[in-house]
Amino acid sequence: MGTDSMAVVDPQLRVRGIDGLRVADTSILPRVPSGNLNAPAIMVGERASDFIKGNKVSIEYRMAGE
């Protein structure tokens, strides 16, 4: 994931070069977490659902207790 030419998905989880396809699993993380993958997987899924639904909720607002 990223903005450089080597990234497979952009920051909104859209696959580069294929319209209408997003990847919403932990394979998009730039670094492998050293612990349990459950929380990062849930976070990626939540962000993907926000992108798909078009929600513009910032992470700071969400962390403050929606």
Question: Cα separation of 26 and 1, whole Å?
Answer: 10
Confidence of residue 23 (pLDDT cuts 50, 70, 90): very high
Residue 31 reports pLDDT greater than 60: yes
- What's the pTM? 0.71
In 3D, which of 50, 14, 10 has the Cα closest to residue 30? Answer: 10
pLDDT at residue 29 greater than cutoff 90: no
| Residue with token string 């993380």 | 29
Measured distance CA(16)–CA(24) in Å, rounded: 14
Which whole-number Å values give the CA distances from 50 to 3, 31, 35, in the listed order?
A: 19, 22, 25
